[in-house]
């Protein structure tokens, strides 16, 4: 791996983490550079459009990671209801670990920029759609009709995002556990 690739990867990973924790507007380029250890010149070499381009690519990286996590969760069980419940319960169990303190993967950036920055909004939208698609595919495999599976994919992702936000706000995993508990009623 070349030094340029390493600097680029460091910048994206650091930006992803800081955007999750501090938001897009709360994270400055100097902070990203300092924490990543990347040379200042590499920032504009790899991201000529600056912070916006870095944010788009960090959202894409984060979304890919989350999508893979969801896919692994869905692969653990054959039945869609059980798979989704177990996935949410797993999130609830992880809630009080150090990893959970990384923030909500793309929600912070999405909420801050959706009305003011089209490229970042599109990256967030694509990320959420990729999450929803995993749920949709699992529901299709379990025999749900296509239109209903797509609707439920959106609803399930919405429930998880909302439960995660409430869990952060309350400092408790209870909203996630309640979401998992009520999945069977939703999917009947």
pLDDT for position 96 = 74
Q: What sign has the CA pseudo-torsion 10, 110, 61, 41? A: negative
Q: Are 186 and 148 in contact (CB under 8 A)?
A: no
Which residues of the chain fall below pLDDT 50?
1-4, 101
Q: pLDDT per residue over 6-52, tens digit each? A: 799 999 999 999 998 889 999 999 999 999 999 999 999 999 999 99
pLDDT for position 1 = 44
- Measured in whole angstroms, the distance separating CA 75 from the mean position of its chain's CA atoms is 18
pLDDT for position 103 = 58
Q: What is the mean pLDDT of the chain?
A: 91
Long-range CB pairs of 48-51, under 8 A, 24+ apart, other chains included: 51/24
pTM equals 0.89
pLDDT for position 102 = 57
Integer Cα distance of 107 and 164 in angstroms: 10
Assign domain 53-186 to its CATH architecture: Orthogonal Bundle (1.10)
């Amino acid at each position: 791996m070349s030094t340029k690739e390493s600097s680029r990867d460091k910048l994206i990973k650091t930006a992803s983490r800081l955007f999750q924790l501090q938001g897009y507007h709360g994270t400055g380029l100097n902070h990203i550079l300092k924490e990543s250890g990347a040379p200042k010149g590499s920032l504009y070499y790899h991201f000529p459009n600056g912070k916006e381009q870095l944010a788009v690519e960090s959202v894409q990286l984060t979304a890919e990671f989350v999508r893979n996590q969801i896919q692994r969760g869905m692969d653990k069980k054959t039945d869609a209801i059980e798979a989704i419940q177990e996935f949410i319960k797993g999130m609830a169990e992880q809630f009080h670990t150090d990893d959970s303190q990384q923030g909500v993967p793309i929600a912070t950036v999405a909420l801050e920029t959706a009305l003011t920055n089209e490229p970042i909004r599109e990256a967030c939208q694509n990320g959420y759609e990729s999450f929803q698609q995993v749920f949709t595919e699992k529901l299709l495999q379990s025999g749900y009709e296509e239109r209903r599976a797509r609707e439920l994919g959106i609803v399930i992702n919405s429930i998880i995002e909302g439960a995660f936000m409430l869990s952060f706000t309350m400092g408790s995993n209870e909203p996630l556990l309640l979401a998992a508990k009520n999945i069977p009623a939703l999917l009947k």
